Structure 1
């Protein structure tokens, strides 16, 4: 691979416009296809094998009118009672909307100031255009708004509407540009990683839109993919650019320097990217479609940014020539300082006294992780949305007028081929007598008379900790065989349990495959084990900080949340997969240089300080960029994206400081030569990849001319 990347980098540097034109064409074609044939985003929360999914399947089979998506229209009179004439007119217009099967009669509140209408569709939300459908709901209820009523919308359809503002992306790109300017002192050097990352990102996001035309893609998937792709894309380009500047410091021509940078740093980029992809593949084991698409889409963007770093970046570096250096360095022909003496001295200091530093850093990381022991995970609902959002206002109006449980009614689906119809009244009575239930509606029979559904209103809202016990009591003590419970709250219970049950298999699979890959790359057993342990420590600390910030409320208001909220159930699995891959990036970058120094000198301890000195600046700059990008996404209105941004920022910051600057030199100094121990049987069968740069391609004897520049 090193030779292939060398030739690819040399060709791109010598003929830059061919590669740039090819990338422009790829991005343009993909963007055009996405605009013409791209699909819409939909969430698919199918939970195969769960009780709520069995009840949903029964409703789809025998209650077509109740099996599709739903929307809730909440009408509130600002003064007096709701206008009944305007309410009846709106009900009629709602029935005429496309795909609407039933509009339930308006349910007035006790004081008559609020009315609740449920609009039921004949198709699932995945077959609707949520934004367009919400516009139709507004149009159908314009008479109520004109009459002076407050009209808000909740339910599946409105909650699937996404309106990305681009603010998070702008914050991240702006912060990255400032950091790169400070790091390189050259506008060209600062701009190139951004341009290359954005080109890969553009191709990947267009690919996501095309993917949405043939399968369900989660509404948050593009935002998550953009967050990760932007961070790793800049990092990958930064790594190759830094190695290229080192080559020019050694007196190489621009094409030769670019080729060597691509052969060494580019190979590290490929393996770091593959590690991220392996971690994301772990989401497939969740078995939940929405997670699987998040993994696929994020992996797609990581792939395109990785490819842009080893194909497009060499071209633009060849075109830029020596302009990637500071002006004074170009003018004076000064040699570039590629190592950090300060970081070298620090690494040597830690290496001389490894035990105190190891213990202090470990205590700090474990203290940060401690709050995670009390973490409560639960899917986010409309109550976590900003107060200005229509779904949040609908939630609040419903809770005030009908009680918090009205926002998460339970649906008991009864298969009357297995349960006697005469048992329905008794079932309703037992449901009403269950602790935590406030209301039970009369049974509704299917058209064929072979199924029934009973709507149950709980006392608690969907995020209340007590709803899990209520659902469990109904299932264990009330429901006869042949019946099951579904609805938002029951689905939340099943989703949380499913994710908890599948977390450990995902962790095991990701850690095992990453360990195997790093063992092959670095031909060591202990180095990959240490890397896995360090990454798990960073992830644990991120979980702990998330618990303190969101669940304990130690920063919820600063992040635009109305109150403290549970950590989203999606976060544990999603954050682990992304973080493990991203953290391994830095591990590959650092260990590549450490092993290179080890093979050259044979000094186990000295190679650690040499590797840290060589990579300290680039890893610090890359980490600062990633933290800035991820914190920018903490401003996103979506709770999952917000929590992902905070968790990723915390983990990367800790990984680049406490882990890379303290734990790594301390543990590697203690292990000494054992860092690179590999049993002889494994040494004979494992391939020697040489990602560390020790097998760089031979130098080209003649110094080729630099490409002409306009």
Structure 2
């Protein structure tokens, strides 16, 4: 592998203009396809579970009740205490508003408060419904904004009017200018790390190029595939973060070789063969983990995983081909100047193979961690277990308007409805009765509605609406509890469990659906997939790391460290977003459930990133151990050579993710926060602290592998041993393309 990547890098270095031209052509094609076949206007939020009872019922409703088969918005009218929405003047204002709403784009029908029966007991509030024939996933932000504008511009007298409802749930996650904060922090970290603006600019330039290609490719698919804005933003976030990190590792190794006197072309080849091998392996783990989301069997999660996997794949390809071309244009300008801080640091790293003293902060920290390795292990495990503790009470769901941005119309509407009608009116359930086999469909529907009213936690049940052919009836049921409450989930489960009793003697069958029921089914499906997916991810990490490090201890330690990182991240997210501890520090003023697909997404992404840091750090330790045979010296050498760049990479990754925490979209806010916390914990608590302590504690046993297994496993050569053999061959060949300068080393 190392030799192949080195040859690719040499070609890209020599034929740099051709390589850049090919990548520019790829970007042009992707942008052209985006313009012709897709675009941001076709992005939506598709959260459904095909085959679930709620989705099957929605599919049947498209035939029986086309106007009610999509999502709906609510128009909430309120007056101060002592005034009534049923007066003639108030009703005229309501009629005016509803007439304007009916003319808004994509509206199927508008139901007045008299039709919905939603007038508060004090007559100070009323709810009208705006029904769409399409799901909320297919409604664009502009469509919903048009409804708001139409309602607010219509004459409404002294009525307070707010627009909200299920159609506004899960609003689009649109990247904003504030997200560039992460890029600015990355520039600062890179400048400090390299001590050179040219060197700092290369990782950023290559990462941005890869992101442009990836985002354009994703947008070009929106004409044929439902892609959520969350999937697009996740691809942007992951692609940018790993693109910078992968380029950082390669450029760091390249400059290290330049500082030791190696020619620029061979330095680029060596960097691609060593650090590039780690990049390829680490990137493939992320790709496999993200693509593995497709096994869950939920389309929106599959699309999300494949989009992110594509972004990471492009980032790897850019790092291994386009970046060496950039290094070719930079030439010897990346060589640290004699006497500079970077040159002194590289000289110190080279001259202190015996580890007589720490040469940087990373090695200094590692020495502290391995001074009392057992105590370090116990402290880190206990601390992470404490952070993970809140995760035991994690509740999954899809964020609703209760956690919408403060001051937004949908948040105000949610609060008004809760205050005047009860929380259940924010997420009514739909019960579809199939009366095709009933002798008296209307009577059967009435009997079912009466049985539903008798259930606990039911606030109201509307009169059944019969379909045009009389073969189906639609009943709206309002719970007493909020859409995200456990009581509402229990009610849905109870109705489904008691379906036989509710249908008794009617000849009809029932199914529970609606936005709230769909969200419950999504959360249930994803919740049941967490443990199997975790087993697959952990098993994959064991196999991959066994192949790379040819050790039994290293894979087990890495997998257990990954579980600690994930558990701690879960705990922090629950404490912040569900329990509300210190939530205002990140702009959260209302608690709610953890986004149902966050645990699986977090496990997939964090697994890849954890393997990144594991590979980059431990591969340098193994490289030193292979050459010198000292377990403790290898830990020191790994921290000395790779610890600083791992620290920089983690800070960059953290800053990129953290910049998205400012988003108003609760799904993106939770996901960004979880990833930022996960990276911080995994890089510094696990990889930079726990890993050195475990390796110091186990000594030579950490690198032991049974002989039969050593013979059976393929040699991936991630340390770049084959490069030394290639250079020896080239030095002996008078017609070789390059002769290595004396004293050059791969280390």
TM-score normalised according to structure 1 size: 0.93
Helix, strand or coil for the counterpart of 2:723?
Answer: coil
* Equivalent residue for 1:123, pick from 130, 134, 140: 134
Task: Show CA shifts across 1:244-282 (max 9, x none).
Answer: 011112101111111111111111101100011121123
Correspondence 1:410 to 2:433: no
Q: 1:541 is matched with which residue?
A: 568
Alignment of 1:476-495 (within 5 A): 476-477=497-498, 479-480=502-503, 482-495=509-522
Q: 2:216 is matched with which residue?
A: 206
Q: CA deviation at 1:345?
A: 5.1
Greater mean deviation of Cα atoms: 11-20 or 207-216? 11-20
Report if aligned partners of 1:365, 1:538 keep a CA contact under 8 Å in 2. yes
* Equivalent residue for 1:423, pick from 431, 437, 444: 444
Q: CA deviation at 1:75?
A: 4.0
Helix, strand or coil for the counterpart of 2:431?
Answer: strand
Q: In structure 2, how many angstroms separate the alpha carbons of the residues matched to 1:335 and 1:472?
A: 63
Q: In structure 1, how many angstroms separate the alpha carbons of the residues matched to 2:146 and 2:527?
A: 38
Correspondence 1:185 to 2:206: no
Correspondence 1:316 to 2:326: yes
Q: In structure 2, how many angstroms separate the alpha carbons of the residues matched to 1:456 and 1:326?
A: 71
Greater mean deviation of Cα atoms: 144-153 or 307-316? 144-153
Unaligned runs of 5+ in 2: 350-357, 741-747
Q: In structure 2, how many angstroms separate the alpha carbons of the residues matched to 1:101 and 1:140?
A: 15
* Equivalent residue for 1:462, pick from 464, 483, 487: 483
Q: 2:355 is matched with which residue?
A: none
Q: 1:439 is matched with which residue?
A: 460
Cα distance change of structure 1 residues 129 and 411 upon mapping to structure 2, 3 Å threshold: closer
Cα distance change of structure 1 residues 146 and 14 upon mapping to structure 2, 3 Å threshold: farther
* Equivalent residue for 1:262, pick from 272, 277, 280: 272
Q: In structure 2, how many angstroms separate the alpha carbons of the residues matched to 1:129 and 1:48?
A: 19
Greater mean deviation of Cα atoms: 214-223 or 661-670? 661-670
Cα distance change of structure 1 residues 579 and 154 upon mapping to structure 2, 3 Å threshold: same
Q: 2:617 is matched with which residue?
A: 590
Q: 1:87 is matched with which residue?
A: 94
Task: Show CA shifts across 1:394-417 (max 9, x none).
Answer: 222322333211110011111113
Unaligned runs of 5+ in 1: none
Cα distance change of structure 1 residues 482 and 237 upon mapping to structure 2, 3 Å threshold: same
Q: CA deviation at 1:189?
A: 1.4
Correspondence 1:7 to 2:7: yes
Cα distance change of structure 1 residues 149 and 650 upon mapping to structure 2, 3 Å threshold: same
Q: CA deviation at 1:72?
A: 2.6
Q: CA deviation at 1:419?
A: 5.3
Report if aligned partners of 2:373, 2:693 keep a CA contact under 8 Å in 1. yes
Correspondence 1:43 to 2:69: no
Correspondence 1:291 to 2:301: yes
Greater mean deviation of Cα atoms: 607-616 or 57-66? 57-66
Helix, strand or coil for the counterpart of 1:358?
Answer: helix
Report if aligned partners of 1:86, 1:143 keep a CA contact under 8 Å in 2. no
Cα distance change of structure 1 residues 123 and 647 upon mapping to structure 2, 3 Å threshold: closer
Q: In structure 2, how many angstroms separate the alpha carbons of the residues matched to 1:694 and 1:378?
A: 50
Alignment of 1:356-367 (within 5 A): 356-367=375-386
Q: In structure 2, how many angstroms separate the alpha carbons of the residues matched to 1:703 and 1:3?
A: 15
TM-score normalised according to structure 2 size: 0.88
Q: CA deviation at 1:171?
A: 0.9
Cα distance change of structure 1 residues 296 and 419 upon mapping to structure 2, 3 Å threshold: farther
* Equivalent residue for 2:359, pick from 322, 331, 341: 341
Report if aligned partners of 1:90, 1:141 keep a CA contact under 8 Å in 2. yes
Q: 2:29 is matched with which residue?
A: 29
What is the RMSD computed on CA atoms of the aligned residues?
2.7
Q: CA deviation at 1:457?
A: 1.1
Q: CA deviation at 1:355?
A: 1.3
* Equivalent residue for 2:696, pick from 669, 678, 702: 669
Q: In structure 1, how many angstroms separate the alpha carbons of the residues matched to 2:400 and 2:170?
A: 11
Q: 2:663 is matched with which residue?
A: 636
Q: CA deviation at 1:163?
A: 6.0
Greater mean deviation of Cα atoms: 29-38 or 626-635? 29-38
Cα distance change of structure 1 residues 446 and 146 upon mapping to structure 2, 3 Å threshold: closer
Helix, strand or coil for the counterpart of 1:361?
Answer: helix
* Equivalent residue for 1:379, pick from 398, 412, 420: 398
Helix, strand or coil for the counterpart of 1:217?
Answer: coil
